[in-house]
Amino acid sequence: MINWNLKDDYFDYIKSHPARRIIVYGAGNEARKNYRFIGRIDYFCDQKADTIKAINGIPCLSPEELVDIPYQLVILICIRNESIVRQIYEALNGMELEAEVFYYFKNPSFAEFDFSPYTRKLDLRDKLRIRIVCTDESWILGKFARKLQEELSRLGQEADIAEEEDTLADVNHYVYYCDLAKVYKNPCTVRTAMVTHVDCLLKADLVKFQTQNKVLCICMSSETVNKLSLYGVAREGLCYVNPAQDGDIEPRKIVLGITNRCYGGFDFRKRDSLILEVCRKLEPRFFKLKIMGAGWETIVSQLQQLGFEVEYYADFDREIYKKLMPGLDYWIYYGFDEGAMGYLDALAAGVKTICTPQGYHLDTRCGLTYPCNTIEDFVRVLRQIQEEKRAVIDSVKDWTWENFAKKHLEIWQYLTGTKPLKELYIHQSEYMDGIFSMVLPDISERQIL
């Protein structure tokens, strides 16, 4: 009689039945890798016993030879393919044997991690049906809903906005997570919710409830993900996508001020034309010049030809000057003539200075922000200021509504199994939010088409 034993611990059983002969059924790769961990083995058994003969001195029998063993048997099947295992069990069941049969890969004595729940089933397609659930389109979150819907449509997706879920949609996305306090058990849709902020335990518990009911909560920042994790929300139910900015705001230019007469036609003490040599090595989109003083007309024209915006006052006007000076970002002076009175006014206005370290410039306690002597000095300082400005601007240049939608779409394509990971992961190391902030069950290509 054959007894298929799926309950007992193998080692406990053979300890309590020491007289039984132990057979390892299967002499392939799995048996050869694992037989040393099995303990006592009396025989191997395999259809290819005639060619195998023995493994490490242990005889290998054919299945038909098992009936000749004059003892009750313990058979441990060590073959991973379960369809073959079923065939073996049926064959053993038709034989005159007294045997307790165990399956190596499903026995508590040989615990093994089960990869099968992490295998992803794919349904490859380019278009998803996406319902954006929004209950108040007049609110700021209404803008999120509209922008998301517009960009998803441009990306070729079927996306709409409504106050209720679409039971036939691939994805139902709530732009306000507090609108999702009841989850309908619809296995045909993926649910996600945008978590805008969590400022009380009630909201933290709501997010926890949602993740416990298979809702992926998409936060706006990594900090909120970490905070919710500390509150006890399952990390695999959280990710983040940084919000977008409209991209229609022009940055204010850095205002450079010159407040002295141009002496180029008389002498060289103020090195007036030096500004042209410096500006040729700067980008006009970052700088604007304000100049007050007579004689700059030719240089102003040349600066404008280089693409720089210049606000020029040929005549000195005290009232305009009093407004102009505090509006500067940097006051510039190139001369070596003991000092410029505009330098003192710049300090009085709290304006930073880029100027020559000479004369009474040196006697102020903290006036020289950037002391410069040569053209190279001025270019180096202004390029540094230019690059600092560029870095600030560029820090959100990719925070667009298009990218906001693309990152959501990648998440949904993963959750719906409509895109393989090898396509979804092509942007790895370009950004850290979106799908790359998710704890994915499996990032291998163990996928079923």
CA 240, distance to chain mean position in Å, is 8
- CB distance 150 to 107 below 8 Å: no
Give the model confidence (pLDDT) of 33-71 as tens digits: 999 999 999 999 999 999 999 999 999 999 999 999 999
> What letter would DSSP give residue 250?
P
> What pLDDT score was predicted for residue 444?
67
Strand partners, 173: 132, 192
pLDDT (0 to 100) of residue 265: 58
Mean pLDDT confidence for 420-443: 90
Tokens at residue 31, please? 């048996």
Rounded to 5°, the CA angle 370-373-379 comes to: 65
Q: How far apart are CA 8 and CA 6, in angstroms?
A: 6
Q: Check whether 220 has a pLDDT greater than 70.
A: yes
Percent of the chain at pLDDT exceeding 70: 97
At residue 138, the pLDDT reads 80
Residue 449 has pLDDT above 60, yes or no: no
The phi and psi torsions of 130 (rounded to 5 degrees) equal -125, 125
Q: Are 368 and 357 in contact (CB under 8 A)?
A: yes
What domains does the chain contain, in order, with CATH numbers?
A: 2-116 (3.40.50.20), 129-246 (3.40.50), 254-384 (3.40.50.2000)
- pLDDT given at position 186: 79
Residue 78 has pLDDT above 80, yes or no: yes
The whole-number pLDDT of residue 396 equals: 96
Q: Name the more confident of 201 and 440.
A: 201
3-state helix, strand, coil in the chain (%, to 5): 40, 20, 40
Q: What is the pLDDT of residue 117?
A: 76
Other beta carbons within 10 Å of 68: 7
Q: 270-316: per-residue pLDDT in tens?
A: 677 899 999 999 999 999 999 999 999 999 999 999 999 999 999 99
Span 119-137, mean pLDDT? 92
The per-residue pLDDT for range 395-421, each reduced to its tens digit, is 999 999 999 999 999 999 999 999 999
The pTM assigned to this predicted structure is 0.79
Instruction: List Cβ neighbours of 269 (8 Å cut-off, separation of 6 or more).
Output: 263, 335, 336, 337
Average pLDDT across the chain, whole number = 93
Distance CA 217, CA 211 (A): 7
Of all residues in the chain, the percent with pLDDT exceeding 90 is 84
Q: What is the pLDDT of residues 369-384, one digit of tens each?
A: 999 999 999 999 999 9
Among 183, 158, 203, CA closest to 416: 158
Return the structure tokens found at 43.
């025989």
Burial code (b: 16+ CB inside 10 Å, e: under 16) for 82-110 equals eeebeebbeebeeeebebbbbbbbebebb
Q: Span 198-204, mean pLDDT?
A: 94
Type of residue at 402: E
DSSP three-state, residue 88 = helix
Distance CA 254, CA 311 (A): 13
- The residues near 318 (Cβ < 8 Å, ≥ 6 apart) are none
Other beta carbons within 10 Å of 126: 10
